[in-house]
Amino acid sequence: MKQTISPFICLNDFEYMDNFSKGWHQHGAPKLNIKYIRVGYPIVDWSKREYKVFTAADDQTEVSVGDLLHRINNHVVAELNKGNNYAPHVAEDYCIERIEILDNMATVYFGS
């Protein structure tokens, strides 16, 4: 079953990531079972429908929403710093709009 999370949180906004996670889990929402994180825009040429897939974590698959947001942030910012930036923006201009979770993979959709 697919699960969708719509945080609309900009990269490097760690305080909002943590607050969103607290709100998500405060009423008993379980941790997420994530093995892989898949990202297209802004770190690959979206016109080619490409993605990069990252391992979510070596030591665990169950993560809080906050942990997932931080891991997405770390992978995407590292790619942007390598020059893999397919739009004329800085990291803080990109927002995590939607995360779709299916079969232990979190597919992340960004806006800018």
Q: Reply yes or no on whether the pLDDT at 48 is more than 90.
A: no
So what's the pLDDT on residue 56? 85
**Cβ count near 96 (within 10 Å):** 25
Which tokens belong to 19? 């607050």
List, for residues 64-106, the tens digit of each pLDDT value: 999 999 999 999 999 999 999 998 899 999 999 999 999 999 9
pTM above 0.85, yes or no: yes
Helix (H, G, I), strand (E, B) or coil at 44: coil
Domain, as residue range, for 54: 3-111
| Number of domains composing the chain | 1
- Opening angle at CA 57, ends 11 and 60, nearest 5: 125
Query: Are the beta carbons of 96 and 7 closer than 8 angstroms?
Result: yes
